[in-house]
A and B are shown apart, each in its own frame.
Chain A
Amino acid sequence: MIAKWLGKVYIGIVMVFLYAPIAVLIALSFNASKSRVLWTGFTFRWYRTLFGSSAIMKAFGTTLALALLSAATASLIGLFAALGIYSMRKSGRRVMLFFTNIPLLNADIVTGIALMLWFVRFLPLGFSSILLAHVTFNIPYVILCILPKLETMDIRQFEAARDLGATTLYAFLRIMLPGLMPGILAGFFMAVTMSMDDFVITYFTKGPGVNTLSTLIYGEIRKGIKPEMYALSSVLFLLVLIILIAVNILTGSKEDKYITKNKEIG
């Protein structure tokens, strides 16, 4: 009983740690002052002016498009790559994982400038160059999320299905994919997150006039971050939170069924 209680307190402390700065930012979105270090009163003003700020809304659209497209592409390539790597022998796997780690190993500024020097040779810098860069640094995260799932998966079920006459594709879709789904989703979510968060690589690979929220914010530090930016971040954040909770309520019962079904098989 005490252990349970302590456990809850522990998770609570971790949550407070994770969410305290978020709370600060949400509070700032209601701050009447434009300065981030002074509190002069409560206002909804920034939420009203937010939608009139074309620079912010345009950057938001670009950020979202980049995040979703790059995460989807990275998830697809990453899923296939993970399956391929999983089926490789030790040496092949090592080589692949070595190269997978490289985008993670380089300092962002080095990756950014190297990609810029390379892209300039065959591609006008713009949205597509940022997208290519984002897919590049997203794939490793997807692979790192899917591979552990593959390793803990019982491959014999898949082989049994094939032995019983299922096509590879059918066996994959029916047996492996459901098991891999949490890993794929986690990878996708992670990729979206990384893409939304990146500044340095985006900065060097972007073309003129294209802005993401990150590049916009970075430029604003000097004069003071526009309060609309806090408002947008808060809206975005709460939106994702609500979607998650909604998904939780909708699929909660379904997942239970899935677990019991799995147990029966096991």
Chain B
Amino acid sequence: MKKTIAASLILIISSLCLLPGCGKSSSGGSLTVFNYSEYLDPEMIAKFTKETGIEIKYEEATTPEEMYTKFTSGAIDYDLLCTSDYMIKRLIDEGQAESVDFSSFENYKNIDPKFAGYSKSYDPEGKYALPYFWGTVGILYNTKQVKAPVDSWDVLFDGSYSGQIIMQDSMRDSFMVALKYLGYSLNTKDENEIREAAELLKKQKSDVSSYLVDEARDEVVAENAVMAVVYSGEAYLGNEYNPDLEYVIPKEGSNLWIDSWIITKKCKNKEAAEKFLDFLCREDVAEANFEYIYYSTPNKAVVDSMDDEFKNNPAVVPTDESVGNCEIYEALDADTTALYNDLWKEIKSE
């Protein structure tokens, strides 16, 4: 009996020792990179390693909150991280971001200078964040089934397409729609305004077919719903799959979002990390990444060399005019966040 126990223990221990993971080394060092899923062409990672000898350990997540959880748990020391504006702000405020001198980058000139203005709300001095992709939130709708032209959030609330609407299953984005429709700022801290928006969303729930994030585009493509609130980046591929689909930023205004890279304080190889960011700014690399996902790129060199088909599509290249009354999310204070959480739970369990 003792023998078998011993044997079992030996087997367990030896199986643990067999595992890969230790003792790997590479010539140019390595970087652990954290990004949204499907947000970077894997071939570009291989290319970077080939050019510089720096190994990339690539990790993915689907939401900023998921990233924050994994990042702050300290389980993995990420060197570089790409996430959304309000999460960038949180990380900068918590002292998690390393300042970077972007002017020393060879390819930083490719980034459209207007982003220095856009990023004021989360990175006032432009010291930390490098814009990577950006876009708006709007309505993707099927022109075959929606005859009247859509230009307002109204179409989501007037009940005319009851049971055929997909809303974002993300608290902030759903509230944004209601707040903008009511004519308020999407960053409002006024409790009454937020409660009014919540009431509107509760009333709307019976008209909503589903609350989705990742599958929203596919559902409209498959014509399981006639319209959905989506990120502008989804519009191009949606239209590729189903030419009847059209994307619009409602006239009441919407959210303008920017996903950016930061180098974290935990980074041990800042030089390599800067090389990676510089690499991402390079025209051929930025172009490959754009063609991988078709989200709007802040890289002016890429935009300038695009076909007209892209240039004239405001879902791919948002014009200054189309984002005129769009706002960027600011991080909410603790009380407002708590209010949002409670109200969102109430809406969802209605």
The short answer to whether A and B are in direct contact, CB under 8 Å, is yes
Interface residues of A (CB under 8 A from B): 33, 35-38, 55, 69, 72-73, 76-77, 80, 113, 116-117, 119-120, 124-128, 131-132, 168-169, 204, 207-210, 218-224
Mark out the residues of chain B between 8 and 55 whose CB falls within 8 Å of any chain A CB in the assembled complex.
8, 11-12, 15-16, 19-21, 32, 36-38, 42
B5 contacts chain A at the CB level, 8 A cutoff: yes
Q: A37-B222, A209-B58, A221-B215 are in contact. Are A126 and B21 (CB under 8 A)?
A: yes
Residues of B near A73 (CB, < 8 A) are 11-12, 15
Closest 3 CB pairs of A and B: A219-B37, A37-B222, A223-B38
Rounded to whole angstroms, the CA-CA distance of A119 and B76 in the bound complex is 11
B93 contacts chain A at the CB level, 8 A cutoff: no
Q: Which residue of A lies closest to B21 (CB)?
A: A126
- Which of A37, A55, A131, A210 contacts B218, CB < 8 Å? A37
Determine whether the beta carbon of B73 is less than 8 Å from that of A116.
yes
Determine whether the beta carbon of A128 is less than 8 Å from that of B19.
yes
Residues of chain B at interface, number, CB under 8 A: 41
Residues of A near B1 (CB, < 8 A) are 168-169
Rounded to whole angstroms, the CA-CA distance of A127 and B21 in the bound complex is 7
Q: A55-B42, A169-B1 are in contact. Are A219 and B60 (CB under 8 A)?
A: yes
Interface residues of B (CB under 8 A from A): 1, 3-5, 8, 11-12, 15-16, 19-21, 32, 36-38, 42, 57-62, 69-70, 73-76, 78, 213-215, 218-219, 221-222, 237, 241-242, 293
Supply 8 further A-B pairs (C-beta < 8 A) apart from A37-B241, A208-B32: A37-B218, A69-B15, A73-B11, A76-B12, A80-B8, A207-B76, A219-B60, A222-B214
Residues of A near B293 (CB, < 8 A) are 223
Q: A38-B222, A209-B57, A218-B62 are in contact. Are A131 and B16 (CB under 8 A)?
A: yes
CB distance from B252 to the nearest CB of A (A): 27
- Which of A35, A77, A210 contacts B241, CB < 8 Å? A35
Rounded to whole angstroms, the CA-CA distance of A128 and B36 in the bound complex is 25
CB distance from B299 to the nearest CB of A (A): 20
Q: Which residue of A lies closest to B74 (CB)?
A: A120
Residues of B near A218 (CB, < 8 A) are 37, 62
- Which of A72, A77, A131, A208 contacts B19, CB < 8 Å? A131
Determine whether the beta carbon of B214 is less than 8 Å from that of A120.
no
Residues of B near A209 (CB, < 8 A) are 32, 57-59
Rounded to whole angstroms, the CA-CA distance of A207 and B20 in the bound complex is 12
Q: Which residue of B lies closest to A168 (CB)?
A: B1
Residues of A near B32 (CB, < 8 A) are 208-209
Rounded to whole angstroms, the CA-CA distance of A10 and B168 in the bound complex is 41
Q: A73-B11, A209-B57 are in contact. Are A120 and B38 (CB under 8 A)?
A: no
Determine whether the beta carbon of B37 is less than 8 Å from that of A222.
yes
Q: Which residue of B lies closest to A69 (CB)?
A: B15
Sample (30) of A-B pairs whose CB atoms are under 8 Å apart: A36-B218, A37-B218, A37-B219, A37-B221, A37-B241, A55-B42, A73-B15, A76-B8, A76-B11, A80-B8, A119-B75, A120-B74, A120-B75, A124-B21, A126-B19, A128-B19, A131-B16, A169-B1, A207-B76, A208-B57, A208-B59, A209-B32, A209-B57, A210-B21, A218-B37, A219-B37, A219-B38, A222-B37, A222-B38, A223-B38
Residues of A near B70 (CB, < 8 A) are 204
CB distance from A49 to the nearest CB of B (A): 14
Determine whether the beta carbon of A38 is less than 8 Å from that of B221.
yes
Residues of B near A33 (CB, < 8 A) are 241
- Which of A80, A117, A125, A221 contacts B76, CB < 8 Å? A125
Q: Which residue of B lies closest to A33 (CB)?
A: B241
Residues of A near B62 (CB, < 8 A) are 218-219, 221-222
Q: A38-B222, A55-B42, A224-B218 are in contact. Are A117 and B16 (CB under 8 A)?
A: no
Residues of A near B15 (CB, < 8 A) are 69, 72-73, 131
Rounded to whole angstroms, the CA-CA distance of A219 and B214 in the bound complex is 10
- Which of A80, A120, A125, A223 contacts B5, CB < 8 Å? A80
CB distance from A4 to the nearest CB of B (A): 42
Residues of A near B8 (CB, < 8 A) are 76-77, 80
Rounded to whole angstroms, the CA-CA distance of A126 and B18 in the bound complex is 13
Q: Identify the interface centre among B5, B75, B219: most chain A CB within 10 Å of its CB.
A: B75
CB distance from B64 to the nearest CB of A (A): 14
Determine whether the beta carbon of A80 is less than 8 Å from that of B4.
yes
Rounded to whole angstroms, the CA-CA distance of A168 and B37 in the bound complex is 55
Determine whether the beta carbon of B214 is less than 8 Å from that of A221.
yes
Rounded to whole angstroms, the CA-CA distance of A127 and B239 in the bound complex is 40
